[in-house]
Structure 1
Amino acid sequence: MKKALITGANKGIGFETARQLLQQGFYVYLGSRDIAKGLEAVETLRAERLTQVEFVALDVTDDNSVQAARRAIGQTTVSLDVLINNAGINGGSPYTALEANSSQFMATFDTNVIGAARVTQAFIDLLRKSPEPRIVNVSTSVGSLALQSDPNWPAYSVAKYAVYSASKAALNMYTIHLAYELRDTAFKVNAVCPGYTSTDFTFHHGGKVAVAGNRIVRYALIDQNGPSGKFFSEETNPETGTIPW
């Protein structure tokens, strides 16, 4: 049975991704910094007869929490097949480059970029023991430098969230470097935009969470002929899914 760890999986897209991987026969470690909500999420899935799921307390901004999660998971498995770095925050308002304060930038980068790196480094040894390890960094088309600078992009005038966009652009760069460093291995590492989705994150505006979860799961399941080091947004480019950095 393949095993996956998903960060920030107690609700929204992370939770739906957990559900869909469970339906694919995975054993899922559901990471959540909120213990009560994480346990509740696990019980919800088990009530759906998706029983191969385990809650893991995991705050991606806390070194001790990440190391504790690594020890806990390491006690139950010798390998990990999929890591989905899903945990993220939008930085809060004000959203503009001239008004957002330093605390917003620090907190958002700590979660969205450093958190992903922190978790990846902690679990890379377990991932290396999988015959087909996959890492999906949940990104967004809003983090594309090319699109953000293109006046013809449909979201050009509305997707200007300076802190969030900057953090996801940085996550994209981390993805490129991670894929490069693992280029001669069985790893596949990609950045995936789930699309504008109706969750707490978007104040419940946007598309269906099931569609978003499926977009992430697709790249968690790619075979050895699949891509690595790429940036995908099927919402932005329905034909190939690839979008410019």
Structure 2
Amino acid sequence: MKKLFLLWLVIPMIPIFAYSQSSGKVDKTNRFGIGVGYSFNNVLGDSIHPIELTFKYKINEKHSVYLNVPFRLSKKSSNFNYSLSSSEGNMNARNNLYGIGGGYDYNVPVCTHLEGFVGIGFEYLHLDILTKNNLLTKNEKNEVIHNSHYTYSNNKKAYSLLPQMGLRYTIGHFETEVRYKLYMAKIRDTMDEYEIFEVPVVGESRTYRAPINETKLQGVLSFNISYFF
């Protein structure tokens, strides 16, 4: 009777014990993972903090490759009214970033669950800034004295080579990663301003800046968490 009672206690513990033994020992061979990350800055601007979708493939213990999709979508609109000057209008703006990249990592075990890595990658980024304003101003007699439509656009494209390094912590099917990327980027920057006047005179003005090409070297830190199947 006692043996049956002990067996009844032990059997339910077998799956739990097996999982605890294997949870920290993940087979990294031929493993596919999907992750999401956050970049603390960006080569196109320190105030830009894109989200990153990452698809990873571990070839074996030492070699892995990845595909990265950074993006940030920002859109806002507002209506304004200045009672003192009898001015009113609206503003629509967007500030969107998207891109695609990929690379290779060479992994070096440090201790249980923890490994370091060095690698190389490539990335393309596109930043699209667009602002539209409509302004209407009236005098005390409710006559329109100014009416205009203003559009501002700024587009930046970056083509980058990315030497990189970082640390990963793996437990079970989950992996967290801190990655430092050194952007060696070629950036193309264009700007266009356009305004149409209806009152006091009908007309238009335009300021177009020829594309500026520049090279930039900047370090970027990102954090990522992934799940491996």
Tell me if both proteins adopt one fold, taking TM over 0.5 as the criterion: no
TM-score by length of 1: 0.23
Larger radius of gyration between Structure 1 and Structure 2: 2
The structure where strand makes up a greater share of residues is 2
